[in-house]
């Protein structure tokens, strides 16, 4: 600082005057400038003081300006006025930031652009701002904006003016500050450089890059909204009142927008202008790209981009290889994209009847981006591309299922920006065909689970692919159980091959064979037979009797004969096929095992269950060794063996196998595949065999509904389930419902299969049994006589189905009081069942029990008792004490004891039966009511025997007994319920 003594005078003179102005074209020049300025006398001290003041004032002004700027730049905006929902994420954030106080908390919100990540962060801050000492909002889209934000923190806190100063302040300030890094989308930025390295503070990061979760103590994927919240958001943004009508319209709109918040807000803004909520969906369907590209004139927040532009920004940052991959994937289904689609296609083996290398130039060039130096598939190169796309959330990856997916709106947008969609579509269509071709035929079911949705999408888009690949598509549809789609494609292929190659070309015959197999899958067995006969004859002429293609056709035709109920013809052909496969390929080749399994099924159809069992066990063991426990072919054999166990009455063994088959098919094929539904229906039938009728009913109803949707009302599988459900209704005592279903099944089977098909006869026999249950014994007898005659002609006198019908007819004779005729028939049936099925088979025991009842009806109570004791003991061992069949026998034995005057033993048994029937079947089941009536009669007869009152004949009830009054009341309830049902 200057002292008084150092004071000096300074003289500052004015400036020199300026020169005269330049003259104009026709005039004189302008006047000269002013002369010297005035002299100024200032001391040095005055000058220094003035300069110091000016400097301080300037610094203060600059500092104030910086503080104001930092306050503006770091100000955290409020959430959108129309924010709605996301409660699950917000609650998770509140829990996270309120736990482990004293440590640093970092929470990452990641997901697709437009999903609402920033708004969730702002809403959280709005709800919990009082919990934080300071809140800083930093635009993290570039390094420049990050550094500016950190610098502003330093300036605002008077701690310097650099980004490092801002970080230093955050690191040194041990308080509950909150740092909001918004839009950290650029994967090239190392965000770790800007995270304060300390053990305190709180940080929220929003990003499209899931990779930033490595910094997080907790994180949330921000994806589509819940339906209820999405509807509320749309109605808010559209300024619409909440009514039933607006909610209904809004629900349809948000479904079309796939619940994406930004798309919903844009739609709402458009609707708020047009005030036409009802008409928006139709408009959107026609103008999706335009509507998702328009920015609202009056936005609800400061978000600068539309749905499409926010994705374009990310797309523009992708390297060409990543951009190309994303665009190609937009021509697959948006879900279930796998690396295997492309890796299998890269291994494609060119076939003489397939497209040439020149025709596949586009697909091969695309796949070359993912191949190593030697042409092998390079997973690392594939992952480098997909990881880059994932960093912008333009594609997602399920690490458990190993599946990629694209948001449906991104998927649609990607196709919009493609310049040559036909080329991309054709490339992807060919890649799918190449991938399917590399799957062995026996694993086509497994491949179809993943590939079928993509094939469907490509077919819907009318992609141009080689005919060879169309065949692969058709086989894929068959493997997926989509038989109608398979039929359509394979028909087209056959017609084109016939035009191009003629009727006798191997490719034409292969197409004909494939179409025939599809007809079999559809249950159209006559059409299948016609085609297979043509193919077989021509292949014999062209290739000979022992060529693999000829044998394959012969085996298929044999299976069709079995489907048509012509079991003898099926058996003859299948034996020939099996022998020739053994000679050509050996005992363990997959084709040999297929033929062996098919022959076993025919043995089962013929009632030769032991022979069927032996073959199926061999096939199962070999398939397990060759293919593994979970291969579809192994599971098919396991299911067939389980059905044979059911036929043999070994229901526990059947159940164990069927449970395994069902679980594995669910895992491999999904809950709704036809083969899964078949397994579910088979297990339900075993539940019926085990007496678990409620479980059986529940399963069968589910199966029936799904089969109707998938296969249609007339498919053989659907009719089988309907028939089985009718039997379950009968077992539950709901005979009216059983009758209704069986009449429907019978009519449809007559139309589809004819009057004499085994399945038609089985249904006719079931309907006859229902007539018996309903007391219409004459109608039952008429049907059973028809069925028995036809079964004898078709299946022979000793087939299990023939014997079953004979036994049922015998029971009807009993119902009609013709006990002698009943006895004769039942004795025949029992002897044959013992020879065929053994003494302990459930059907044998059923017949034995029925014969005992006939003896009782004939007054031969001692013979009845002896038989019933044998039956009861065996049923208790085989089925358990609580099985309905066991209880039926126990009740019959009680009646026999009563007939023999052993009332105490009778009553003890009947009480046990009644309690168990009440638990299993309910109080109103006919069997329960029948037992209740028997107990009432028994008690009446016992009471009367202790008095002088005459005992009424058997079957006559005494109406003044309390138990009988209860029974009559229950029966009256049933009559009322039946009447009401009839009115409906």
Q: Which of residues 426, 449, 466 is at a domain's end?
A: 466
Residue 898 is assigned to a structural domain of this protein: yes
Same domain, 95 and 197: yes
**What DSSP assignment string belongs to 567-588?**
HHHHHHHHHHHHHHHHHHH-TT
CATH code of the domain covering residue 174: 3.40.50.300
Tokens of 493: 């292929």
Angle between helices 467-479 and 483-501 (to 10 degrees): 150
What's the pLDDT at 616? Answer: 97
Cα 85 from Cα 247, distance rounded (Å): 16
Residue 735 is assigned to a structural domain of this protein: no
User: What's the residue count for the chain?
Assistant: 984
Same domain, 299 and 380: no
For residue 289, the enclosing domain spans 227-314
Tokens of 908: 């003890």
What's the pLDDT at 677? Answer: 95
Q: Annotate 672-713 with three-state secondary structure.
A: CCHHHHHHHHHHHHHHHHCCCHHHHHHHHHHHHHHHHHHHCC
Tally of domains within the chain? 4
Please list, in sequence order, all residues whose beta carbon lies within 8 angstroms of the beta carbon of residue 5, skipping any fewer than 6 positions away. none
Residue 833 is assigned to a structural domain of this protein: no
Residue 10 is assigned to a structural domain of this protein: no
Residue 373 is assigned to a structural domain of this protein: yes
Coil, strand or helix: which one is 400? coil
Nearest in space to 515 (alpha carbons), one of 501, 529, 500, 499? 529
Please list, in sequence order, all residues whose beta carbon lies within 8 angstroms of the beta carbon of residue 971, skipping any fewer than 6 positions away. 929
The low-confidence residues of the chain, meaning pLDDT below 50, are 1-73, 297-301, 303-304, 951, 953-984
b/e per residue, 155-186, with b = 16+ CB within 10 A? bbbebeeebebbbbbbeebeebbbbbbbbbbb
Coil, strand or helix: which one is 432? helix
Which residues, in sequence order, are bridge partners of residue 404?
Answer: 337, 397
Number of helices (H) and strands (E), helices first, in the chain?
A: 42, 9
Same domain, 145 and 242: no
Tokens of 470: 């169309």
Enclosing H/E stretch for 405? strand 403-405
Residue 969 is assigned to a structural domain of this protein: yes
> In which order are the strands placed within the sheet that holds 218-221?
135-139, 178-182, 202-207, 105-110, 218-221
Same domain, 309 and 344: no
What pTM did the predictor assign?
A: 0.72
Greatest alpha-carbon pair distance for the chain in Å reads 163
Same domain, 347 and 427: yes
Q: Which of residues 171, 186, 220 is at a domain's end?
A: 220
Same domain, 206 and 135: yes
Tens-digit pLDDT profile for residues 280-293: 888 877 777 777 76
What's the pLDDT at 973? Answer: 35
Q: How far is Cα of residue 713 from the mean position of the Cα atoms in its chain?
A: 22
Same domain, 922 and 942: yes
Q: What are phi and psi of 44, to 5 degrees?
A: -60, -40
What's the pLDDT at 718? Answer: 95
Which residues, in sequence order, are bridge partners of residue 41?
Answer: 11
Cα 578 from Cα 568, distance rounded (Å): 15
Tokens of 687: 């539940």
Same domain, 191 and 268: no
What's the pLDDT at 684? Answer: 96
What's the pLDDT at 422? Answer: 92
Q: Which of residues 155, 187, 220 is at a domain's end?
A: 220
What's the pLDDT at 551? Answer: 96
Residue 763 is assigned to a structural domain of this protein: no
Residue 707 is assigned to a structural domain of this protein: no
Same domain, 878 and 956: yes
Same domain, 205 and 96: yes
Same domain, 879 and 934: yes
Same domain, 256 and 310: yes
CATH code of the domain covering residue 934: 1.25.40.10
């Amino acid at each position: 600082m200057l002292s008084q003594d150092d004071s000096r005078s300074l003289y500052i003179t004015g400036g020199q005057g300026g020169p005269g102005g330049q003259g104009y074209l026709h005039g004189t020049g302008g006047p000269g400038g002013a002369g010297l300025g005035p002299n100024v006398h200032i001391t040095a001290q005055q000058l220094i003081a003035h300069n110091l003041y000016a400097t301080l004032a300037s610094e203060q002004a600059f500092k104030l300006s910086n503080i104001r700027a930092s306050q503006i730049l770091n100000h955290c905006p409020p959430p959108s006025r129309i924010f709605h929902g996301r409660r699950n994420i917000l609650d998770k954030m509140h829990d996270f930031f309120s736990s482990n106080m004293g440590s640093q908390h970092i929470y990452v919100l990641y997901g697709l652009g437009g999903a609402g990540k920033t708004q969730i962060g702002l809403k959280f801050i709005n709800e919990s701002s009082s919990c934080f000492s300071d809140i800083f909002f930093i635009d993290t889209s570039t390094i420049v904006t990050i550094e500016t934000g950190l610098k502003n923190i330093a300036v605002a806190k008077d701690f310097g003016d650099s980004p490092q100063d801002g970080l230093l302040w955050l690191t040194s300030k041990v308080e509950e500050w909150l740092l909001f890094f918004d839009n950290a989308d650029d994967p090239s930025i190392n965000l770790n450089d800007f995270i304060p390295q300390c053990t305190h503070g709180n940080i929220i990061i929003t990003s499209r890059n899931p990779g930033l979760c490595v910094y997080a103590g907790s994180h949330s994927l921000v994806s589509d909204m819940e339906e209820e919240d999405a509807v509320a958001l749309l109605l808010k943004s559209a300024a619409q009142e909440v009514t039933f009508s607006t909610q209904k319209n809004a629900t349809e709109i948000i479904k079309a927008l796939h619940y994406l918040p930004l798309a919903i807000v844009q739609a709402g803004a458009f609707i708020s202008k047009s005030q036409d909520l009802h008409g928006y969906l139709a408009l959107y369907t026609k103008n999706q790209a335009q509507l998702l590209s328009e920015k609202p004139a009056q936005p609800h927040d400061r978000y600068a981009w539309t749905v499409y532009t926010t994705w374009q920004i990310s797309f523009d940052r992708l390297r060409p290889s990543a951009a190309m991959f994303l665009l190609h994937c937009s021509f697959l289904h948006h879900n279930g994209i796998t690396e295997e689609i492309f890796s299998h296609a890269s291994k494609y083996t060119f076939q003489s009847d397939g497209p040439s290398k020149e025709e596949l130039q586009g697909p091969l060039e695309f796949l070359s981006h993912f191949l190593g130096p030697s042409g092998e598939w390079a997973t690392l190169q594939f992952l480098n591309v997909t990881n880059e796309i994932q960093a912008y959330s333009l594609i997602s990856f399920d690490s458990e299922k190993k599946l990629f997916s694209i948001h449906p709106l991104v998927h649609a947008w990607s196709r919009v920006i493609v310049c040559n969609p036909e080329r991309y579509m054709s490339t992807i269509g060919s890649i799918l065909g190449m991938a399917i071709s590399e799957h062995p035929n026996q694993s086509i079911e497994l491949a179809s689970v993943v590939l079928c949705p993509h094939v469907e999408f490509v077919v819907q888009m009318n992609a141009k692919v080689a005919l060879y690949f169309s065949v692969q598509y058709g086989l894929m549809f068959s493997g997926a159980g989509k038989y109608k789609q398979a039929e359509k494609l394979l028909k087209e292929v056959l017609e084109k091959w016939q035009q191009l190659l003629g009727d006798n070309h191997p490719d034409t015959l292969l197409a004909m064979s494939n179409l025939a197999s599809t007809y079999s899958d559809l249950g159209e067995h006559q059409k299948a037979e016609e085609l297979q006969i043509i193919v077989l004859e021509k292949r014999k002429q062209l290739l000979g009797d022992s060529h693999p293609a000829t044998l394959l056709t012969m085996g298929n035709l044999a299976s069709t004969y079995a489907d048509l109920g012509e079991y003898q013809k099926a058996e003859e052909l299948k034996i020939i096929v099996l022998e020739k496969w053994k000679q050509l390929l050996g005992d363990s080749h997959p084709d040999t095992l297929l033929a062996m399994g098919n022959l076993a099924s025919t043995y089962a159809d013929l009632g030769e269950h032991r022979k069927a069992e032996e073959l199926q066990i061999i096939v199962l063991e070999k398939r397990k060794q060759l293919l593994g426990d979970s291969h579809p072919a192994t599971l098919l054999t396991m299911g067939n063996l389980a059905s044979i166990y059911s036929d043999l009455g070994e229901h526990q063994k059947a159940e164990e196998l069927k449970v395994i088959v069902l679980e594995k098919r669910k895992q491999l094929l999904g809950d709704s595949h036809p083969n899964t539904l078949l397994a579910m229906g088979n297990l339900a039938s075993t539940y019926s065999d085990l007496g678990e009728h409620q479980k059986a009913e529940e399963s069968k109803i589910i199966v029936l509904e799904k089969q109707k949707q998938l296969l249609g009302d007339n498919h053989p599988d659907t009719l089988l389930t309907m028939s089985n459900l009718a039997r379950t209704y009968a077992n539950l005592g709901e005979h009216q419902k059983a009758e209704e279903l069986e009449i429907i099944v019978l009519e449809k089977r007559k139309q589809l299969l004819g009057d004499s098909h085994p399945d038609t006869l089985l249904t006719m026999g079931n309907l006859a049994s229902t007539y018996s249950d309903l007391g219409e014994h004459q109608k039952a007898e008429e049907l059973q006589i028809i069925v028995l005659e036809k079964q004898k002609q078709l299946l022979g006198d000793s087939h299990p189905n023939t014997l079953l019908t004979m036994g049922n007819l015998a029971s009807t004779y009993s119902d009609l009081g013709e006990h002698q005729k009943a006895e004769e028939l039942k004795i025949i049936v029992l002897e044959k069942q013992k020879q065929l099925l053994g003494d302990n088979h459930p059907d044998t025991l059923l017949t034995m029990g029925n014969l005992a009842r006939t003896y009782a009806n004939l007054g031969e109570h001692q013979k009845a008792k002896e038989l019933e004791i044998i039956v009861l003991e065996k049923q208790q061992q085989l089925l358990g004490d609580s099985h309905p069949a066991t209880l039926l026998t126990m009740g019959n034995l009680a009646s026999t004891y009563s007939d023999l005057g052993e009332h105490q033993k009778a009553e003890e048994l009947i009480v046990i039966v009644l309690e168990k029937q009440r638990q299993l079947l309910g109080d109103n089941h006919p069997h329960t009511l029948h037992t209740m009536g028997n107990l009432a009669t028994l008690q009446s007869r016992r009471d009367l025997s202790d008095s002088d009152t005459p005992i009424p004949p058997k079957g006559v009830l005494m109406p003044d007994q309390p138990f009988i009054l209860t029974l009559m009341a229950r029966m009256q309830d049933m009559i009322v319920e039946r009447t009401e049902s009839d009115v409906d």
